[in-house]
Structure formats: structure tokens, C-alpha cells
Amino acid sequence: MAKKSIREIIQDEFKRCAIDPAHFMKKYCIIQHPTKGKTYFHLYPFQEESLTELRDSRYSIILKSRQLGISTLTAGYILWSMLFKSDFNVLVIATTKDVAKNLVTKIQVMHDNLPKWLQGGLVENNKLSLRFKNGSQVKAVSSSGTSGRSEALSLLVLDEAAFIKNIDEIWTAAQQTLATGGGCIALSTPNGTGNWFHKTWVDAQSGGQFLPIELHWSVHPERDETWRTEQDQLLGEKMAAQECDCDFVSSGHTVIDGTLLQWYKETYTKDPIEKRGFDGNYWLWDYPNYSKSYAVVADVARGDGSDYSAFHVIDIDEVRQVAEYKGKIGTTEYGNMLIGVATEWNNALLVIENANIGWATIQVAIDKGYDNLYYSYKQDAYVDEEVHLRKGYDLKNKAQMVPGFSTTSKTRPLLLSKLETYFREKGIVVHSNRCIDELFTFIWNGSRAEAQRGYNDDLVMSLGIALWIRDTALRLKQQGLDLSRKALGHFGKSNSGVYSSKTGTAQGWEWQSGDKDNDNLNWLLE
């Protein structure tokens, strides 16, 4: 057999590298290891298997533990694709410019350390982009509303996808750029549930568009239970569950603890017994019981088309959600709907959030003469029930009052505190999957609690108002200051401020009327 020339050996090796990305990486790619410094990329079995899946799948979603080298693996796959495919156009979108630059740097280090016969011939070399003579290129950007709106892409990489705030918009925009046959790799540790990454992962597990690749910490051959225990100590149990265990529920920064929300979802949520309305969005889990008292608490959409009008019907005595609406409806139609619903539920206390366009809906209730409309003090100082009790709450003095409820910088923390307390103590029954799903995406953004970008919190906020109003009404009733209808029920108080109904004691109903003796209204209940 004739001895191969150097040229033939290189040609054969080049062909093998072009066919087998794992061989290319293991034999020729040098990486910057955090402890070993520059070293060859010795792929672990799980990395080699993942690489094959990336090569063979158009869309891949990787749910990963921390420090498994998956970002480095992705960088190597991008380099391999650019070298052995002409005009291969890659866009990397990351949470920040530094994260984006980091991935390009990994690609550059690998490329610069390749033998000359493997290098692509750089014609552009910037911190955020590389381009080869064969027309292949990679660009990295931080997330923005216009990310992904470029020329046709061969590959879109979403790095730490669960943490990209506007990823829904990015993915929508990217559809046109991928229409010519491009693919996508979305990789991330989890960051709560209900967001794009979580929903895409769940869909992928059910045979959706993406191939799911789960990389739990245990896939790493050098990690054991001792290592995992150390992560609890280093990161805290909640963060370790996110960063190591690929645990969606324990991850994220939800206002209500994710494990508690999961418990609610498994324990209480169920399909409604009836769906009403022109849009089928008025859901019922019960029918009015004329021995009970109810509150209808409504949030009104801003009118810009980005959010929804929503309301809850709450059984005041049992603190149970019995009905719910979430939909897009005009203010007048919404007002008429609320009057009809409140009337049906025993002339329920009707609470309408009065910010912005909410006044138009409130005006409908006033014009129709609905007599159990909630009023509140004009002054923000009187938002706490303790202040109500000290100052007195006189519904007859309409000069001091304003119809509806105002969500302000002072009332909002009260609502959220009440919401968290009720859920933490499991003091409310919520049947709606829609509402629980909103809570899964209702997160702390710095010091402010709000819906993740691209999601809504209409049901969440109206529920918070409902719970605050419910407890306030009960406390005021205790003092004879009846801000709602007469039959709010008997009540007690937990240590944390959640009021609950009690049975076994007969309490007379009285109306406090200035300096006069209280009028006994028990005859109304006979």
C-alpha cells in the first residue's frame, strides 16, 4: 500500500472533521478551562450525545444544570457549522452584551488555536462578530425588541433563554428570518414557569417543534451527592434547585412561592362547570347561593389592547373563588356585564378599580343606579383599615368618598401583602388555571412586583384587591361600619391578618348611626 502524502492525510482528516463535529472538537478545539487553563475540549459522553442531537435537529431546547460546559459546546458547534458550511449565518441573542460577547470569545479562542489548514480565513474579527472567507458569520447581540429582525438566518441561538425579558417578541420576529430553513438552539437554566422557555420546554416534551435535551447535574461523571450538597450550602436550597436540578417550580422570583403555586394547581384548580358570555370567558365553578354573601371585584383594561378586563366573584364567607372573567370588552359593555353579574350573585358588593379608563365602567354602574357599589376615601392616607377604624367610615358622606378602588403606590403594597398572606396560609380557594398561571409569571423585578414582560397580571391584581377589600369589610363590620352589604358573615382573625368566618355564635346585625342608638337589624334576617 502506497504511503499517503501529507496533503492526502490532511484531506482525509478535513473530511472526517466535516462529517463528525465531535471528532473535530476533541482533536482540534482548545478551550479556556476555568481551572485547567487552555486545554483540548475532551467531551464527556453527555456532551457528545448532545452534540449529535444538535447536529441532527432543526430546533433544540436545552434545559441544563450550571457549569456543564454547554455554552462551550454550543460555541464549538457554531464554529464547526461555520467552517464546513458556506454562508452559514448565525445570530446569538443573550441577556446582556457581555454574555453575548462571551460566547463569541469562546468561538474565537477555538478558531485561533486550530491548525492553519482548518482555519476559516477571518475577514472580520470583532468582539461581537466573526466572518470567514466562505461567507459564514456569527453575530452576537443583547436582547432588544428588534433582535432577530435581520437577514435570513441559518441558526438562531438563544443563550440563557429563560432570562431574556422580551423573548416572546424575539421569537415572533425570528420566524421570518428562519423561514428559509434556519434552525434554533434555546439553552438555559430554568427561571420559573409560564414563560416562553418553560412553555416551549413543556410543548417539546409533548412532541412539539423543539427537541428537548435535559441535562441534570447528575449527567456529569465527576459530580456526586457530596457535590450537590455543597451547592445547597453555596447557593441556598432554592437557587441550587434552579441551577442544578433543572427545577422549574423552585426557580424564578415569583411573588408567591412556586412550590405553593404548584400545590394550588394540583389541589384546587379544575375546569369550570360553565363558560358564559359572548366570548366564553366568564367561567363559573358554582352557582349563587342566596344564603351567602359575594363580592365582584373588577380590573378594567387600559384600552391600548395590551391587557384584559378581569374580575373575580368571591364567596366572602368561605374565601373561595366561584367565578371569573378575563377578556377584551368595551367599557360600557363591561359595566353592563358587571351589573348583571353582581345582581345575579345576590346583589354582591361591586368593586371596580378606578384608574384611567376604569371611570367609564364605574359611570355605567352609577347611571344604572347599582346600590351596592364600593366607595373609598379620596385621600390615599385612608387606605389602611386601621385608619378607617380611627377616622370612621361614613358611606353617607359622599363628599369624602369616591366610587371604586384606587390602586396607588400606597395601596399596591397592601394588596400584594394580603395576596401573599392568603396564599402562604392557604386561606383562599382558587379554581382557575388562568389565575394560577398568571401568578407563575408574577415576579419580583427588582423591588417591584409585576408580570413578566409579555404577560399579564389582570387576574392577579383584581384578586389582591378582592382579598384586601374582603378583610377590610370584615374588620369595619366588627365596628359597625358596614361598607358592604349586611350579610358579610361572622369572622375571626389569624395571627397574620387573614380574617375567616366562624360559626357557632349568633351575632346581631347593627347599623351605627351617629349619636343615636344603634338600630337592631336582626329582623331583616328573619
Mean pLDDT confidence for 18-39: 88
Q: At the top level of CATH, which class does the domain 259-504 belong to?
A: alpha beta
pLDDT tens digit sequence for 430-453:
999 999 999 988 888 777 888 877
Ranges in the chain annotated CATH 3.30.420.240: 259-504
On whether the CB atoms of residues 459 and 281 are closer than 8 A, the answer is no
State the pTM of this model: 0.65
Q: Per-residue pLDDT for 19 more than 90? A: yes
With CA atoms as reference, report the closest residue to 370 among 342, 344, 390, 328. Answer: 342
| Tens digits of residue pLDDT in 244-262 | 888 887 666 788 888 899 8
Q: Report CA 251 to chain centroid distance, whole Å.
A: 11
Lowest mean pLDDT among 180-194, 415-429, 495-509: 495-509
- The secondary structure of 125-164 as a DSSP string is EETTEEEETTS-EEEEEE--TTTT-SS--SEEEEETGGG-
Residue 147 has pLDDT above 80, yes or no: no
Which residues are CB-neighbours of 53 under 8 A, at least 6 positions away? 60, 211, 213
Q: What rounded mean pLDDT belongs to the chain?
A: 83
Residue 153 DSSP SS3: coil
Cα separation, 420 vs 418, in Å, equals: 6
The whole-angstrom distance between residue 344's C-alpha and the CA centroid of its chain comes to 33
Nearest to 64 by CA among 244, 252, 296: 244
Could you give the residue range(s) of every CATH 3.40.50.300 domain in the chain?
Answer: 11-249
- Confidence at 197, pLDDT banded by 50, 70, 90: very high
Closest CA to 187 of 63, 93, 87: 63
> What integer pLDDT is reported at residue 22 of this predicted model?
95
Q: CATH class for domain 11-249?
A: alpha beta
> In whole angstroms, what is the distance from residue 526 CA to residue 523 CA?
5
User: What span, in angstroms and rounded, lies between the C-alpha atoms of 112 and 118?
Assistant: 10
Q: What is the pLDDT of residues 52-108, one digit of tens each?
A: 999 999 999 999 998 899 999 999 999 999 999 999 999 999 988 888 889 999 999
All three cell numbers of 45, joined, read: 459522553
